[in-house]
Chains A and B, each alone.
Chain A
Amino acid sequence: GQQVQQSPASLVLQEGENAELQCNFSTSLNSMQWFYQRPGGSLVSLFYNPSGTKHSGRLTSTTVIKERRSSLHISSSQTTDSGTYLCALETGNTGKLIFGLGTTLQVQP
């Protein structure tokens, strides 16, 4: 089965609402990264967060290793936040990232 599971698979919000995206993993963790994938396909690194909580503007990432989960919180969503959010897990020492299937977010005006 999937080593990295993301939920929900898709989410529709009205502009201004908050979103909570989840990433659960079934294996040990060396590091966790969150990416935003634009509709055109390019990837933007949002957070490198092996543990704890990190903030960047309207975004917050929290990784809890013992519970094998990481979350991405988007506050006051904007239409430009629409796209796919991917979490990726590094388990070994070679740097290989294992990606989840992603959460597709649509923010409506």
Chain B
Amino acid sequence: GPKVLQIPSHQIIDMGQMVTLNCDPVSNHLYFYWYKQILGQQMEFLVNFYNGKVMEKSKLFKDQFSVERPDGSYFTLKIQPTALEDSAVYFCASSLLTGGDAEQFFGPGTRLTVL
């Protein structure tokens, strides 16, 4: 099936540093998402993005988080500054549509460790 790529697969950084997680979504998809999963816990929605704008964000999407997708490039999640509780696996997903006609395809995740 369609593939979503994520770079890097692992990232270890010191608390307070900035990190950017990169996602290469399915080429013709229009909607992009980030989800967060702490080890052994539930997958949780962070944010979705369409037409250059955030459509919806959860309470987990703190002020230190931002997303963007400059034309033709990666869909990125930036955390600045990072905190210990940001350690988790971050999954990117994309879909062609939403609202009941929109299968989401997920990347393999980026494991972020904040020391």
Q: How far is the CA of A94 from the CA of B53 in the complex (A)?
A: 12
Nearest Cβ in chain A — how far from B80, in angstroms? 24
- Do B91 and A97 have beta carbons less than 8 Å apart? no
Contact A95 B42 (CB under 8 A): no
Chain A residue contacts of B108, Cβ below 8 A: 41-43
Instruction: Check: B56 CB closer than 8 A to any chain A CB.
Output: yes
Q: Are A90 and B89 in contact (CB under 8 A)?
A: no
Is there an interface contact between B103 and A43, defined as CB atoms closer than 8 Å? no
B12 contacts the other chain (CB 8 A): no
Instruction: Check if A94 sits within 8 Å of B42, measured CB to CB.
Output: no
B70 sits at the interface (CB 8 A):
no
In the complex, are the beta carbons of B98 and A101 less than 8 A apart?
no
Q: Is A31 an interface residue (CB 8 A)?
A: yes
Q: Are B103 and A95 in contact (CB under 8 A)?
A: no
Closest Cβ–Cβ distance, residue B88 to chain A (whole Å): 11
**CB-CB contacts of A25-44 with B at 8 A, as 1s and 0s?**
00000110101000001110
If A33-B104, A42-B108 touch, whether A95 touches B98 (CB-CB below 8 Å) is yes
Give residues 81-97 of A contacting B (CB, 8 Å): 86, 88, 90, 92-97
8 A–B pairs (Cβ distance < 8 Å), ordered by A? A35-B106, A43-B108, A45-B1, A86-B43, A95-B31, A95-B102, A96-B56, A99-B42
Binding site for A on B (CB under 8 A): 1, 31, 33, 35, 37, 42-45, 48, 55-56, 58, 89, 91, 93, 95, 98-106, 108-109, 111
